Amino acid sequence: MTQPLPIPFPGVDETPVVTALEFPEAGVTVTGRFALNEFALLEPENLEFLRLYIKVRGNLKEVERILGVSYPTVRSRFDALLRAIGYEPENPDPRDETLMMLERGQISPEEALKRLKK
């Protein structure tokens, strides 16, 4: 029985190295030192988000609908996914930042409207 990789591994802050690949039906095992790519190293939450993102062909509005969360929350999770695979997200759209501030209660609906009209 196979199990998902225990990533991240508790108490260890380094990238793992795979030392064996087994092909059970063929009866073959290959040993060596193999690097995992950035997708294999994703934490389960980011991996599930990536799967959903691919399933809906990159439509963040559809991700929002399926997850039942706000667009700024989806955007924030997408940015976290980008960082996890080694990319720096683009500067956020000021409108997204305004919506996130409104969602967190940092600004009033009136202030949000004022900012969005600019």
Distance CA 22, CA 28 (A): 6
- In tens, the pLDDT along 27-58 reads 999 999 999 999 999 999 999 999 999 999 99
- In tens, the pLDDT along 55-92 reads 999 999 999 999 999 988 999 999 999 999 999 888 76
- pLDDT number for residue 30: 98
Distance CA 43, CA 39 (A): 9
Structure tokens of 109? Answer: 């609906």
Distance CA 23, CA 50 (A): 27
- pLDDT number for residue 104: 80
The two most distant CA atoms of the chain are separated, in Å, by 67
Asked whether the beta carbons of 79 and 53 are under 8 A apart, the reply is: no
Q: At what angle do helices 109-117 and 94-103 cross, to 10 degrees?
A: 180
